[in-house]
Amino acid sequence: MAPISACKPHKKPAPYACKPRVIKDKDAPRTSAQLAKKGKRENLTLHDWMTVYSFVDAHLSMSQMDVVNHFKSKADGALVFNQATLSRKLKNQTEMEEHTTSNPSALSSKHQRIVT
């Protein structure tokens, strides 16, 4: 019987490549370029939803998609949400309005805090 040979030596892995740091130039001129949109959605605050509810109540003849497009194209601050989210939030409108009246400081929160 032939003797069992040892395993062949393997190459050692190279060190991880570090990401280069982005250095902002303090002497660079100002620009009017817009930042790219984020890939993920951000939740709206309770105040934002109260604004949407008051708009929907004032414009009952508009479809939900028209409401979504109206808020998406606002120049003074766009609110980004889709029609499915609007439909789901409209079902909880009375509950959210009650939460606003019971706790006015909750307008800046994104969801109701339950404290036990």
| Residue ranges of domains in the chain | 46-103
d(CA 93, CA 105): 18
Q: What is the pLDDT of residue 97?
A: 86
Chunked mean pLDDT (size 10), the chain, 116 residues = 71 83 69 61 83 93 93 83 92 87 75 70
Q: What is the pLDDT of residue 39?
A: 59
d(CA 49, CA 111): 11
**What pTM was estimated for this model as a whole?**
0.60
